[in-house]
Structure 1
Amino acid sequence: MSVEAGGAVRTEAARGGTGRPHDKGAGFWFGRSGLVVAGILAAIGGYLAIGIATMDVPEGAKVPGPQFFPTLITIAIFVLALLLAVQTLRHPEHVVEPAARHRFHTDWKSLGLVFGAFLAFALLLVPVGWMLTAAMLFWCVSRALGSPRPLFDVGLSLVFSSCIQLAFGAGLGLALPGGILEGIYG
């Protein structure tokens, strides 16, 4: 943008330019950083697909079987990766003003809290059990995302992890780790 005589503000596009400060030599990747995320999603989908293909399935497994839900999730990941890639290729993000280049920031505190919660979940899942570790994970993620009601989040996390425990146990016949509560509901 520029200010002309008389106080009129004109953008680069109004003067005939494209509004992008880095037009010369910007290359294909300019404004297409979303392709990196699409690539990461596709890699995760590939990892899951290999895991599903090499999964040991008992011969007497009932339909839909242990590969059904992971297959649905893997398909959804591939579809999202494809949609993100198409969207990024069709509509790359263009910087209108040089000051707009730094409009995003990383919230390291929230990122650290979520990472720590996932690490604690992975380490405590077997000894503590699904219900409590999943509730802890859900609660930590809600805190990292800025939820203002910690007591409500604890209750909701326990209800949510209990419902998942019930769905896996009663609905699918799969046992999630019981941990310290195993004698109570296991």
Structure 2
Amino acid sequence: MMPSNNNPTSVSATIGNRLRFQRGSGPRGIAKALLMPAILAAFATYLLYGIVVMKVPPSAAFPGPQFFPGIIAAGLYAFAVILGIAAVRAALVTPSIDEEESGERAVGVDWRSFAWVAGSFLAFAFLLGILGWIIAAALLFTGIARGFGQRKVLFAALVGLTISSLSYIAFDMGLGLSLPSGLLGWAF
């Protein structure tokens, strides 16, 4: 039975239908297809700028504070190039008769789900210092679960609270790394 929510992510995960994104045509379709690679490249450039202007003490040994952000920036550039090539190819190629008759459904972006996921990450980034890890991560989990089609918000919040609490304990007590405690303000 198909869920009432037609979220492409949740539908493909629960039912296993083969889905393909709708292809745009012409310059507008190519521009829409290149939006995500452009966002990835912009974020990678922002990271690269941060790496270049970072003040690193001369006593810093390898790998140093610039190493892992550099790997992430390189990976983002690589993904941007791969997605850009795939987007241009998909926008320029029309679907064949075999693809149209294969039972695949063309789907678009579910902007409501996208807004839940992106908004949850933005809220997490802004609220982490205020609310602390446990509460902010629980809200992040709840928002992403909602974006992926979870209708039981209280259940998602309880699962998120449990996972964020366990990860807080693991990082703080197990690894000795402190995460922001925020409103709760306790220290183990």
Q: What's the TM-score bracket when you normalise by the shorter of the two chains?
A: 0.5 to 0.7
Q: 2:67 corresponds to which residue? A: 68
Conserved? CA contact 1:168–1:174, under 8 Å: yes
Partner SS, residue 183 of structure 1 = coil
What is the CA-CA distance between 1:34 and the residue it aligns to? Answer: 1.9
Map Cα deviations across residues 134-157 of structure 1 (whole Å, 9 max, x no partner). Answer: 221122111111135652663256
Q: 1:92 corresponds to which residue? A: 91
Larger radius of gyration: 1
Q: Matched residues in 1 for 2:73 and 2:149: separation?
A: 29
**Bigger fraction of residues in helix:** 2
1:123–1:160: structure 2 CA closer, same or farther, 3 Å change rule?
closer
Q: Matched residues in 2 for 1:31 and 1:116: separation?
A: 25
4+ aligned runs moved over 6 Å, structure 1: none
- Any residues of structure 2 matched to 1:142-161 within 5 Å, and which? 142-147=145-150, 150=153, 151=155, 154-156=158-160, 158-159=162-163
Q: Matched residues in 2 for 1:75 and 1:167: separation?
A: 27
Q: Matched residues in 2 for 1:83 and 1:183: separation?
A: 45
Q: Matched residues in 2 for 1:169 and 1:72: separation?
A: 28
Map Cα deviations across residues 121-144 of structure 1 (whole Å, 9 max, x no partner). Answer: 233211221232122112211111
Partner SS, residue 180 of structure 1 = coil
1:164–1:83: structure 2 CA closer, same or farther, 3 Å change rule?
farther
Conserved? CA contact 2:172–2:178, under 8 Å: yes
Partner SS, residue 63 of structure 2 = coil
Percent of aligned pairs with the same amino acid: 32
- Any residues of structure 2 matched to 1:31-180 within 5 Å, and which? 31-32=29-30, 33-61=32-60, 63-92=62-91, 94=93, 103-108=107-112, 110-147=113-150, 150=153, 151=155, 154-156=158-160, 158-159=162-163, 162-163=166-167, 166-167=170-171, 175-180=178-183
For the aligned residue pairs, the C-alpha RMSD in angstroms reads: 3.6
Structure 2 gaps, min length 5? 1-24, 101-105
Q: Matched residues in 2 for 1:164 and 1:64: separation?
A: 26
Q: Matched residues in 2 for 1:161 and 1:94: separation?
A: 48
Q: Which has the higher contact order (CA 8 A, sep 6+)?
A: 2
Conserved? CA contact 1:49–1:71, under 8 Å: yes
Q: Matched residues in 2 for 1:80 and 1:88: separation?
A: 12
Q: Matched residues in 1 for 2:187 and 2:119: separation?
A: 28
| Total equivalences in the alignment | 154
Partner SS, residue 176 of structure 1 = coil
Higher alpha-carbon deviation: 162-171 or 42-51: 162-171
What is the CA-CA distance between 1:64 and the residue it aligns to? Answer: 3.4
Map Cα deviations across residues 89-143 of structure 1 (whole Å, 9 max, x no partner). Answer: 344354559xx9x9525433x3443344334323321122123212211221111
